[in-house]
A = this chain, B = another copy of it.
């Protein structure tokens, strides 16, 4: 591999790069590579906000949970991030993060971190059983939003294909797929935070169209420890996403991300605003 390729950062790392500009303050900028309809892909914003915590010198342990609130559209260009340790407890640290452009707070996040611990373990949930990734077609992303090209998605069911359902004859909200960063990148918490939002909006497969739509709030629980992620490396994860209800202009979404050896790596939930 030529030097210039081995040396260039992965697009995700370029997109979430933060420059320290003071105590708990960082400067960042949006990435064209992860652009969505009217702002950056929400997953990369979640990754930026998580990275601000992981980069903080007072940070201990690993990310356990993150909630991101998407408050306003993020315009292309520079943004600032501030991170604050709200509570430094024995078993957890609680962080508050804010991202703004000019006078507008565009996103906030709460992040809980804590030491890795070994305890009694039990898994009531079963991993989805999917055919091997190489047996499923890669979703074509040419001509779609930029961020979709940053993921290799191989759907077993529930591919986001316009026109396969309608408001009168809704399709299933369930998707199951193999998903990984494109190009491949060893899994860590920031990439996991981003992949947790990589399930294309449920309304597309359910109703067949994409009205104006935006994630309002996103909560991800990181159930993987470092060892489980190291074992997974850059290989595709199994993803599952579903929705319970669409009404009053909002729908919920719940997602799971599993390693290919059957570990639940993350659970993620969101509330999505839609128009009409």
A residues neighboring B (CB under 8 Å)? 64-65, 67, 69, 71-72, 86-87, 89, 91-92, 94, 96, 98, 104-106, 108, 110, 112, 114, 116-125, 167, 170, 172-174, 206-207, 216-217, 219, 221, 223, 225, 242-250, 252, 254, 256, 264, 267, 269, 271, 273-276
Contact check, A117 vs B248: say whether CB atoms are below 8 A apart. Answer: yes
Q: Which residues of B contact A267 (CB under 8 A)?
A: 244-245, 252, 269
Contact check, B219 vs A217: say whether CB atoms are below 8 A apart. Answer: yes
Contact check, A223 vs B249: say whether CB atoms are below 8 A apart. Answer: no
Q: A96 → chain B, closest Cβ, in Å?
A: 7
Q: Which residues of B contact A118 (CB under 8 A)?
A: 248
Per the bound structure, the CA–CA distance linking A216 and B221 in Å amounts to: 11
Given contacts A123-B244, A123-B247, contact A87 B105 (CB under 8 A): yes
Contact check, A110 vs B225: say whether CB atoms are below 8 A apart. Answer: no
Q: Which residues of B contact A64 (CB under 8 A)?
A: 216, 250, 271
Q: Which residues of B contact A110 (CB under 8 A)?
A: 67, 69, 108, 110, 217
Per the bound structure, the CA–CA distance linking A72 and B256 in Å amounts to: 29
Q: A159 → chain B, closest Cβ, in Å?
A: 17
Per the bound structure, the CA–CA distance linking A125 and B250 in Å amounts to: 15
Which of B108, B116, B124 is the one whose CB lies under 8 Å from A206?
Answer: B124
Contact check, B116 vs A170: say whether CB atoms are below 8 A apart. Answer: no
Q: Which residues of B contact A249 (CB under 8 A)?
A: 117, 119
Contact check, B271 vs A112: say whether CB atoms are below 8 A apart. Answer: yes
Q: Which residues of B contact A248 (CB under 8 A)?
A: 116-119, 121, 223, 225
Who on chain B is nearest to A272 by CB? B221
Q: Which residues of B contact A219 (CB under 8 A)?
A: 67, 217, 219, 269
